[in-house]
Amino acid sequence: MNPRRDMRNNRVALFDGIEEGSIRASSSYSHEIDEHENERAMEGLQDRVNLLKRLSGDIHEEVDSHNRMLDRMGNDMDASRGILSGTMDKFKMVGKALSLSPFKQSVSVDPELHNANNNVSGSGELPRSFYLLSTC
């Protein structure tokens, strides 16, 4: 046999077992590390999912609250619109009644102002301040 070949075979046999053992040990060790990291990552994801679930629940409650508030405001606006429409209809009726009335307006003049105005201007015109009384 060749001494060189024997030495090489001995060396391979000597280091081969150690290398395989260390590879196996490091492989199982890295597998455990990977599993541990995966578990931590899963716990982190689970915490994030729970946080997002609570957050989405809070958003849902807030949206429901705002929808109820908007519904109430819409109902209040509808009621206000109805009241305003009724008031406008009454004003229109009063306006029509005044325009159809034979006595549209009666003017009342304060006699003292009328006399003072006549004394100042001497024109006999109505004073600038007078009261319109509408008959309804």
**76 vs 12, higher pLDDT:** 76
* Total domains present in the chain: 2
Task: Give the DSSP H/E element, type plus range, for residue 114.
Answer: helix 111-121
Residue 29 maps to a domain: yes
d(CA 36, CA 43): 11
Residue 87 maps to a domain: no
Q: How far, rounded to the nearest angstrom, does the alpha carbon of residue 114 sit from its chain's CA centroid?
A: 63
Place of tokens 């008959």: 135
Q: Are residues 59 and 110 in the same domain?
A: no
User: In 1-102, where does DSSP find H-type helix?
Assistant: 3-100
Residue 116 maps to a domain: yes
d(CA 37, CA 44): 10
Q: Are residues 58 and 113 in the same domain?
A: no
Q: Are residues 67 and 107 in the same domain?
A: no
Residue 79 maps to a domain: no
Residue 89 maps to a domain: no
Q: Are residues 62 and 105 in the same domain?
A: no
The confidence score (pLDDT) of residue 69 equals: 98
CB 134 within 8 A of CB 105: yes
Residue 88 maps to a domain: no
Residue 83 maps to a domain: no
**104 vs 26, higher pLDDT:** 26
**23 vs 32, higher pLDDT:** 32
Q: What is the pLDDT of residues 36-90, one digit of tens each?
A: 999 999 999 999 999 999 999 999 999 999 999 999 999 999 999 999 999 999 9
Work out the pLDDT band at 121, boundaries 50, 70, 90. very low
Work out the pLDDT band at 29, boundaries 50, 70, 90. confident
Residue 30 maps to a domain: yes
The confidence score (pLDDT) of residue 98 equals: 83
Q: Are residues 9 and 66 in the same domain?
A: yes
Average pLDDT, the chain: 74
Alpha-carbon torsion angle 79, 84, 87, 92, nearest 10: -130
Q: Are residues 65 and 7 in the same domain?
A: yes
d(CA 101, CA 134): 10
* Domain encompassing residue 119: 101-136
